[in-house]
Each structure stands twice: as structure tokens, then as C-alpha cells.
């Protein structure tokens, strides 16, 4: 029993780490989310530290990955073997702005132990161009160097240069740019020099178009540069994600991640969705096939219950996110099912997935009955778990189905929930006998269905530890191969 309780505690944390971002949700405020998440992190770190660290190897979101790294570094006296490698491997996968924010939080907390300094030193040394970082992430880089008293990689006393840009001269220039900006009237490094010139140039051939997009955007606004002209000329300097944010859909739909593509589709007016039906549907199916990969068509008969009730509208900071996850899962399940063996049941009764919108109550029980009518091999429920038309019907349907109609478990049932419930420190569940997993992106669905089996209560802590050990091994192996390239 104690093993099962421990496994449930760890799975509860995994659900939180996948879904919660400390932001406002449909039913809970940002402050409630942050307080709830902070408690879950501390509880699992104190009681199951090795498994807490192992969560870094799972498909948790970046917000929680940074929180785990911070909590582990703040408590070095409790550290276990292999933690440093896990933290370093996860930091290498995080967006640099998140890592720099983490460094600033560690500085504010006065965390400056040897392991922290080593991790910061190695991460900075692996950056391809610290002069670029000095321009784009100036406060973060400055805080990291001040806190650890580290010399810039490539500078005097740091050994060989770490890359083409990391020469002693570049290190010296970057140091002056950060800590003595008035010392130099000109820089040899093109990005540093472009930043200097951009303060007074804004015409044809302006240096601001040689800067990172986020930095150039500020200069363009200051100089009153026309937005359309600015976006046209800065386009070669923009990352794909920046192009998507600045002009959703303008960067092309091919190659766009499935959930982000679903968010884009849901942002369009109904008329445009109808006009572009073939293009949008084709892009969603192509994205789903990329995610399904070799597993396409291998899941047999699949039925899905998809929540498009009013609560799927999300919040002001996570607009339509739950509905986008459901839409992405719809196309992914269509790809994973055997050809012609997939049925979708939206809570609103919608028949056209391209035109779904957040609307009405959540009659999950009725839709689950519809989905089970033809005894699928797999039933996937994508919902925030607020069954309210009538309340509790979904749980009762699933209980009767599992205990009386299908005790042999011919139909596998999994509930994936895209919304963290701060009040219960977990995602909301539909029925005790149905495994529930938190989900952030539709792309994570296959992995979450795999880990959800531990939530059925038939496998204890030992099996969960073995699974996490395998994930850690694969994660570190993949990180080592990437570092080698």
C-alpha cells in the first residue's frame, strides 16, 4: 500500500509538472496556481528526491523543469548521485531566456555553491555566441557573471576558445559592453557594433536590421519605423517561432508543431477556416502524421471524447489552449488509429473539427456512452474533468463499464487533462478506476498514454522507478549524442 501511495504521489507531481505553468486558468487565479505548484514541488522533493530529479527526463513543461533545477540547486546538502548531469542536460534543452531567468533567481536567493557555479560555467561555455547573448539577454548574462565571478569563456585564464566567436578579443569586448559600456567607441564584433549604431541609425541600411529581432523591435518602436516595413526587412534575422508570433501563419504551415498549428487555426474567423479548409486540414493531418511516426495506424479501433465546452476557452493568458490540445489530439488519434477505425465525439455534438469553438456545458457522460457503443479498443477522453451535465455521470458510466460490462478490460480507457486544478494539487479525475494524465501539448499524447498505466493502481513504486530509470538513461544518452555533434 505504501508503494502505491508513493507511486500516486509521484504521478500527481508529473501531472502537475506537465500541465501547470503558474498562470491563470479558467477556474483558478495565477496566485492560486503558483502556491499550489510550490507546495507540490516541495512535497515531492523532500519525500522522493531521486524521482523528483528524474522528472527532468520526462516531457514536463519548461516552467517546471526550471523550478526543479532551482530547487535541486538550492538544496545541495540533499543531493543524490547523477543530479548534476540531469540538470545540465535539461538546461541545455531549455530556451536560453528561461535559463538566464533561473540564474537570476539563484542569485536573488544567494545560491552560489560549487555545483551551481560549475553548471553555470559549463552552460555559458557551450553558448555559441556570448556577444549575441550580451545583446539579447543582457540582464541575465550580466547577473550570472556577477554572481559567480566567472570570467567570460574565451577570455584570459579560461583556456582555449570554445568556438569561432569566443576569442580573447570578443570576450574583452563583451565584458566592456556589459560592465563598462562607455569604454569603447567602436566594437569589432558585428552584433555589438550594430547595437551601438542602432541608437541613432534608423534609415536605409540601418544597423538595427543586423540585431536579434526582439532587440531590433525595441529600436524600431523608438525610431517610429513602420511596423510592416520593419517586419519585412528583419525577417531574415527572425527565428521560426518569432515569425509565427509576429505573423501567425505567415511563416507557412508546413513544419509547424501540431498544438501551435491548432492554436493558429482556432484563432481564425469561421469564414477564413471554411475558405482555407483544404489547406488547414492538410496541415493538421501532416503535423499529426509527423508526431505519430512509425506508430501511425497501429492503435486499432479508437474512439475519442473531446471537450469543447465553454471552459475549453482557457484564460486571458492561455486563450483557447485546452481546446487547441483537444483539436490536436483529434488529428493525432485519427493518425494513430487503424484506417477508417476512428470516431470523434465532441461534447457540443460538433461534427466539423475545423469549426469547433468553446461553447456550452460538459455532457461527458452522454458522449462517453456514445463512444463506448461500438466497443473500441481504446477510448481517449480529452477534458478538464468538469463533468456537469449532469454532474458525475461520466464517472458512473466509466465505473459501471469497467466493473460490470468490461471487467476483462477489452477497451483501454485513458483520460488526459490539459488543466491543472490548484485546489486538488493535480489534474481533475473522472473516476478512480480510469487512469488520468496531465497533458500540455497534443504531441505528448503517446508518451502520456504509456505512463498513465501506472495511475491504474496495479503497478507500484518499483515499476515506476524502473520506468523513470529507463527514461533518464535515454535522456542522458540523447543529450550526450547531441553534445558530441
Average pLDDT of the chain is 90
Mean pLDDT, range 243-253, rounded to an integer: 70
- Give the residue carrying C-alpha cell 484506417: 339
Our measurement of the distance from residue 483's CA atom to the centroid of its chain's CA atoms, rounded to an integer in Å, reads 22
Q: Which residue has the higher pLDDT, 208 or 158?
A: 208
Which grid cell sits at 70?
532551482
- Number of Cβ atoms within 10 Å of the Cβ of 116: 23
Give 103-125 as a DSSP string.
HHHHHHTT---HHHHHHHHHHHH
- Burial classification of residue 439, based on how many CB atoms lie within 10 Å of its CB (0-12 exposed, 13-18 middle, 19 or more buried): buried
450 has pLDDT over 90: no
With cut-offs at 50, 70 and 90, classify the pLDDT of residue 249: low
Q: Give the bridge partners for 385, in sequence order.
A: none
In whole angstroms, give the CA distance from residue 431 to residue 403.
12
158 has pLDDT over 60: no
Which grid cell sits at 180?
563598462
Q: Which residue has the higher pLDDT, 176 or 206?
A: 176
The 342-346 sheet, strands edge to edge: 342-346, 302-306, 378-382, 412-417, 436-438
In whole angstroms, give the CA distance from residue 168 to residue 175.
10
- Give the residue carrying C-alpha cell 528561461: 98
Our measurement of the distance from residue 72's CA atom to the centroid of its chain's CA atoms, rounded to an integer in Å, reads 20
In whole angstroms, give the CA distance from residue 374 to residue 149.
66
pLDDT for 157 equals 42
In whole angstroms, give the CA distance from residue 362 to residue 394.
10
pTM of the shown model:
0.90
With cut-offs at 50, 70 and 90, classify the pLDDT of residue 133: very high
CA distances in angstroms from 274 to 257, 264, 358, 410, listed in the order given: 21, 14, 18, 39
> What angle is formed at CA 224 by the lines to CA 223 and CA 227, rounded to 5 degrees?
120
Phi and psi at 307, nearest 5°, equal: -90, 110
In whole angstroms, give the CA distance from residue 124 to residue 100.
10
| Nearest Cα residue to 58 out of 6, 9, 16 | 16
In whole angstroms, give the CA distance from residue 135 to residue 173.
12
Phi and psi at 456, nearest 5°, equal: -75, -10
Mean pLDDT, range 66-77, rounded to an integer: 96
Exposure of 248 in the CB half-sphere (CA atoms within 13 A): 10
pLDDT for 160 equals 39
N-term to C-term CA, the chain = 46
Q: Is 266 helix (H, G, I), strand (E, B) or coil?
A: helix
- pLDDT for 370-429, tens place per residue? 999 989 999 999 999 999 989 999 999 999 998 899 889 899 999 999 999 999 999 999
Phi and psi at 412, nearest 5°, equal: -85, 125
| Nearest Cα residue to 347 out of 319, 369, 328 | 369
- pLDDT for 200-216, tens place per residue? 876 666 889 999 999 99
CA distances in angstroms from 416 to 120, 347, 420, listed in the order given: 36, 15, 11
pLDDT for 8 equals 87
156 has pLDDT over 80: no
Non-local CB neighbours of 351 within 8 Å, separated by 6+ positions: none
E-strand spans in 320-372?
Answer: 342-346
The domain 258-459 having CATH identifier 3.40.50: the answer here is yes
- Number of Cβ atoms within 10 Å of the Cβ of 469: 14
pLDDT for 1 equals 60
Q: Are 331 and 285 in contact (CB under 8 A)?
A: yes
Our measurement of the distance from residue 19's CA atom to the centroid of its chain's CA atoms, rounded to an integer in Å, reads 9
Whether the bond into 390 is cis, omega within 30 of 0: yes
Phi and psi at 333, nearest 5°, equal: -65, -35
- pLDDT for 211-236, tens place per residue? 999 999 999 999 999 999 999 999 88
59 has pLDDT over 70: yes
> Where are the domains positioned within the chain?
258-459
Mean pLDDT, range 244-270, rounded to an integer: 84
Mean pLDDT, range 164-173, rounded to an integer: 73
DSSP single-letter state for residue 294:
G
| Nearest Cα residue to 330 out of 372, 292, 358, 362 | 292
251 has pLDDT over 80: no
Amino acid at each position: 500500500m505504501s508503494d502505491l501511495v508513493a507511486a500516486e504521489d509521484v504521478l500527481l507531481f508529473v501531472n502537475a509538472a506537465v500541465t501547470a505553468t503558474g498562470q491563470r486558468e479558467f477556474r483558478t487565479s495565477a496566485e492560486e496556481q503558483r502556491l499550489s505548484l510550490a507546495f507540490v514541488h516541495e512535497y515531492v522533493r523532500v519525500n522522493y528526491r531521486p524521482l523528483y530529479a528524474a522528472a527532468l527526463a520526462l516531457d514536463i513543461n519548461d516552467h517546471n523543469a526550471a523550478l526543479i533545477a532551482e530547487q535541486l540547486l538550492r538544496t545541495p546538502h540533499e543531493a543524490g548521485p547523477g543530479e548534476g548531469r540531469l540538470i545540465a542536460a535539461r538546461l541545455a534543452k531549455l530556451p536560453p531566456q528561461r535559463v538566464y531567468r533561473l540564474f537570476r533567481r539563484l542569485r536573488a536567493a544567494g545560491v552560489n555553491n560549487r555545483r551551481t557555479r560549475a553548471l553555470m560555467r559549463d552552460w555559458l561555455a557551450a553558448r555559441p555566441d556570448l556577444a549575441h547573448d550580451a545583446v539579447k539577454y543582457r540582464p541575465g548574462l550580466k547577473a550570472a557573471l556577477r554572481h559567480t565571478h566567472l570570467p567570460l569563456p574565451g577570455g584570459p585564464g579560461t583556456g582555449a576558445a570554445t568556438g569561432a566567436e569566443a576569442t580573447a578579443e570578443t570576450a574583452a569586448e563583451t565584458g566592456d559592453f556589459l560592465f563598462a559600456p562607455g569604454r569603447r567607441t567602436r566594437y569589432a564584433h558585428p552584433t555589438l557594433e550594430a547595437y551601438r549604431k542602432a541608437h541613432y541609425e534608423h534609415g536605409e541600411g540601418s544597423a538595427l536590421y543586423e540585431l536579434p529581432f526582439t532587440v531590433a523591435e525595441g529600436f524600431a518602436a523608438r525610431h517610429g519605423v513602420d511596423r510592416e516595413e520593419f517586419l519585412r526587412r528583419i525577417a531574415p534575422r527572425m527565428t521560426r517561432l518569432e515569425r509565427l508570433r509576429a505573423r501567425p501563419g505567415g511563416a507557412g504551415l508546413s513544419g509547424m508543431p501540431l498544438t501551435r498549428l491548432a492554436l493558429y487555426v482556432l484563432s481564425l474567423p469561421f469564414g477564413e477556416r471554411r475558405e482555407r479548409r483544404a489547406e488547414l486540414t492538410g496541415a493538421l493531418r501532416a503535423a499529426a502524421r509527423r508526431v505519430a511516426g512509425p506508430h501511425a495506424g497501429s492503435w486499432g479501433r479508437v474512439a475519442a471524447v473531446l471537450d469543447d465546452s465553454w471552459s475549453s476557452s482557457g484564460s486571458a493568458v492561455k486563450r483557447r489552449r485546452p481546446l487547441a490540445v483537444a483539436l490536436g489530439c483529434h488529428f493525432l488519434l485519427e493518425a494513430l488509429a487503424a484506417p477508417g477505425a476512428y470516431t470523434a465525439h465532441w461534447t457540443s455534438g460538433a461534427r466539423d473539427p475545423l469549426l469547433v469553438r468553446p461553447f456550452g456545458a460538459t455532457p461527458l457522460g452522454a458522449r462517453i456512452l456514445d463512444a463506448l457503443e461500438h466497443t473500441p479498443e481504446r477510448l481517449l477522453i480529452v477534458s478538464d474533468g468538469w463533468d456537469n451535465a449532469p454532474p458525475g455521470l461520466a464517472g458512473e458510466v466509466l465505473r459501471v463499464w469497467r466493473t460490470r460490462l468490461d471487467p476483462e478490460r477489452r477497451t483501454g480507457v485513458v483520460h488526459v487533462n490539459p488543466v491543472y486544478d490548484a485546489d486538488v494539487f493535480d489534474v481533475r479525475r473522472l473516476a478512480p478506476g480510469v487512469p488520468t494524465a496531465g497533458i500540455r501539448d497534443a504531441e505528448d499524447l503517446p508518451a502520456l498514454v504509456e505512463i498513465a498505466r501506472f495511475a491504474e493502481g496495479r503497478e507500484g513504486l518499483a515499476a515506476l522507478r524502473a520506468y523513470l530509470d529507463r527514461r533518464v538513461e535515454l535522456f542522458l544518452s540523447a543529450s550526450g549524442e547531441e553534445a558530441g555533434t
